[in-house]
Amino acid sequence: MIQRLQSIFLFIAFVLSMMFFFFPIGTIELENSVLLPVKFWGFSFINQESLQPDFLSGWAITILFVVIALINFITIFFFKHRKFQIKFCLFNIILQLGSIGIIFFFLYCCKQKAGVDFHTNILIIFPMVETILTFLAFRLILKDELLIKSVDRIR
């Protein structure tokens, strides 16, 4: 059933992962106090050494968040196949934990390559919240599966 609590957790995780496409993850403060928003698909800046325009691409992270969002959304509709839901949740948790590391590596590269200050938004904690929500959904799905197995044993 779609109205289960784990479906709500997965839907909230889906919404949180979609927020990365609409809001910047942070801002870069340039020398003249101009704030440049940074989104995951990349940002343009002036290279300090060569004084040429440069671009730091984040397409790999963007694709990763598309995959995470799709898995969250698809998992909701596998409510009749709890074993697939469990496998998708575990796979998604692994992807989300990997995305947290990749996010911090991307932010480190932004700071090193641009050579300016970087300020993050509240959006940076969403992958950890997504991971927690997916884990809670995983536990509830597993609980449902164990309940079904125990009822089948009684018959």
At residue 51 the predicted structure's pLDDT band, cuts being 50, 70 and 90, is low
Record the pTM. Answer: 0.81
Summarised one tens digit per residue, pLDDT across range 16-49 is: 988 888 888 777 776 777 777 777 766 655 555 5
Summarised one tens digit per residue, pLDDT across range 112-146 is: 776 777 777 888 888 899 999 999 999 999 998 88
Domains defined along the chain, listed by start: 5-150 (1.20.140.150)
For residue 21, give the DSSP letter.
G
Summarize the confidence of residues 90-109 as an average pLDDT. 87
Q: Report the alpha-carbon distance of residue 56 to residue 73 in Å, rounded.
A: 29
Q: Report the alpha-carbon distance of residue 42 to residue 28 in Å, rounded.
A: 12
